[in-house]
A and B are shown apart, each in its own frame.
Chain A
Amino acid sequence: MTDEPLLRVSALSKFYGSRVGCDNVSFDLWPGEVLAVVGESGSGKTTLLNCLSTRLLPSSGTASYRMRDGQFRELYRMSEAERRFLMRTDWGFVHQNPADGLRMTVSAGANVGERLMAVGDRHYGKIRATAVDWLSRVEIEQDRIDDEPRAFSGGMRQRLQIARNLVTGPRLVFMDEPTGGLDVSVQARLLDLLRGLVTDLGLAAIVVTHDLAVARLLSQRMMVMKDGRVVESGLTDRVLDDPRAPYTQLLVSSILQV
C-alpha cells in the first residue's frame, strides 16, 4: 500500500470563451479509489473528465500523474505522443456510447486484441487467448469473438468496451455515464460487473454520472458539481445520507423511491 496519490489535481479550470466549463477543481485520487463526479447536465462534470484524461486541455491549473516508475509527471506538459501512450496503456476511457470507444467494423476479439498490440504484444495465439479470457470476464460468449460489435446489443457493446479498456491492466479508468442509455436490468448487470472488476483489479476510477444510485454502488468518494464548481465532496455515503450543500440536498431529495 503506497501513501502517495496516483493523480493530483490542483486548481483546474476550463473556460470556453467567457463561459465556465469547470472552475478551480482540486482533488487527489489514490490507487484503488473510485471517485464519482455527479451533477446535472451542464454542471461541468464531462468537461472535467475530458481535461483529466487530456482529451481537452484546461485553461489553467495542473494535474500530475504518478507513472509506473513512481515519478510524478505533469500531464499538460507531456508531448502528445506521451499522452497517447498513457491513454493506450495505463489508462482506460469508457464512453457512454460504446460506438465512441469501439471500432464497430472489426471483430470483438480484434477490439480487445488491438489494445494488447498497442502495448507490444505480437503473438497471435496469446492475444486471442487473452481476448477470449476477457470476453468471458465481461460475460460475452466465446462464440461471439469473431462477430462485429455492430451485431451486439447495447449492454454487450458496453461490456465489450470495458474489456477493451481493461485488457492492458490500466491503473486509472475514466468513465463517462457508463450505464447511461441502458435498460435497468442491463444496467444492474453492468454495475455488478464493474464493481467486481474494480475491486479485483484494484483500479482507480473517475466515474461521471448523473445517477446517484450508480455513484453509491460504485464509488467510495464523491464530488458534486454545479455550474462548473465543486459544491460538495466527501465520502459517498456521507454526501448522500447527510448532504450539506443546498444543491446536493436538492439532488438527493429528487431521487424517486421505488
Chain B
Amino acid sequence: MPTPLVVSDVAKSFTMHLRDGIKLPVVAGVSFSIKASECTVLGGPSGAGKSSILKMLYGNYAVDEGQIIVRHEDGLIDLANASPRTVLAVRRQTIGYVSQFLRTVPRVSALDVVAEPLVERGEEREVARGKARALLSQLNLPERLWALPPATFSGGEQQRVNIARGFITEHPILLLDEPTASLDAANRDVVIELIAAKKAAGVALLGIFHDHDVREAVADRIIDVTAFAPGKLAA
C-alpha cells in the first residue's frame, strides 16, 4: 500500500502586520508520514502547533516552507504549493476533515449538513440522506433534531453532526481535530468504533485527541509535536 501522505520540512509562522509585523513562529522542520489503515495521533501540549499542522494539511493555512505530498487520483500533489482549484479537488476526493467546531449555515437541516459532502461527490441526494440518517442514529442524535438547522444545538449535538459529516464520505485520508472534545462517554465509544471501521477500510487517519482514553483506544502511533518547536531547529 503506497504512503498516502508525506510531510517534509514544513515550517509555519504568522506575521502580524497590525502589530508592527511581529513574527510568531509556530512550527518548523515538520516531517512525518501517515499510513493507510492506521490512526496517527499528534501529541503535545496546547499551543504546540497540532491544529496548525492539520490546517496546513487541509489547505486551510498557508505553508511557508516545505512540502506536503499527497497521493491524489493516481498522482502526487504538493499541497503546500497547489492552486486553490487543486486543493478543492483534493478536499472533494482525497482528504476529509472533522473540525473542532461546526460552521453552521442558516436554514440548512442537520440531515443535509451531513449529506452534503456526499452530494458534492456526485451521490444521489436521497442515497446520501439515507447514509446521513444511519450515521446520525449511530451517534445517538435524537431524530426530532434531524430536520432542524444545527445552529441552536448544544455543543455535543453540533459536534456529532460535524463528526457524521466528516465520516460519511470514503476519503482515503481523514483529519480529526479533537472530534470527541464535548462528547459523553457513550458517544466517545461510538467515535472510537467509527475510527476502527475507517481503519479497517484502509483509511489513513491523523488526529488530535486530548482525551486520554480515546487516544489509548485509537492511536497506532503518536508523533510528538514539541519536536517541531521552531526554536529547536536553530539549537
Interface residues of A (CB under 8 A from B): 30, 33, 188-189, 191-192, 195, 199, 217, 220-221, 234-235, 237-238, 241-242, 244-246, 249-250, 253
Contacts and interface: CB of A to CB of B under 8 A. Distances in A.
Contact of B55 (A191, A195, A241): A241
Contacts of B55: 241-242
A189 B106 contact: yes
Contacts, number: 51
Contacts of A217: 105
Interface of B: 14-18, 55, 59-62, 84-85, 87-88, 105-108, 120
Contact of A242 (B61, B85, B120): B61
Contacts of A241: 55, 60-61
A244 B85 contact: no
A234 B61 CA distance: 11
- Please classify the interface of chain A as helix (H, G, I), strand (E, B), loop, or mixed, using the class held by over half of its residues: helix
A234 B16 CA distance: 19
A250 B18 contact: yes
Nearest to A243: B17
A189 B61 contact: no
A244 B106 contact: no
Given A30-B85, A195-B105, A238 B61 contact: yes
Nearest to B120: A199
Nearest to B103: A216
Contacts of A191: 106
Nearest 4 CB-CB pairs, A to B?
A246-B17, A188-B106, A192-B107, A235-B84
Contacts of B15: 244
Contact of A220 (B17, B18, B84, B106): B84
A249 B108 contact: no
A166 to B, nearest CB: 19
A199 B92 CA distance: 14
A192 B60 contact: no
A249 B17 contact: yes
Nearest to B87: A235
Contacts of B108: 192
**Highest count of chain B CB atoms <10 Å: which of A30, A189, A234, A235:** A235
A195 B105 CA distance: 10
Contact of A238 (B14, B17, B59, B107): B59
A242 B60 contact: yes
B88 A220 contact: yes
A235 B107 CA distance: 24
B62 A192 contact: no
Given A188-B107, A192-B106, A234 B18 contact: no
Contacts of A199: 120
Contact of B18 (A221, A237, A253): A253
Nearest to A244: B62
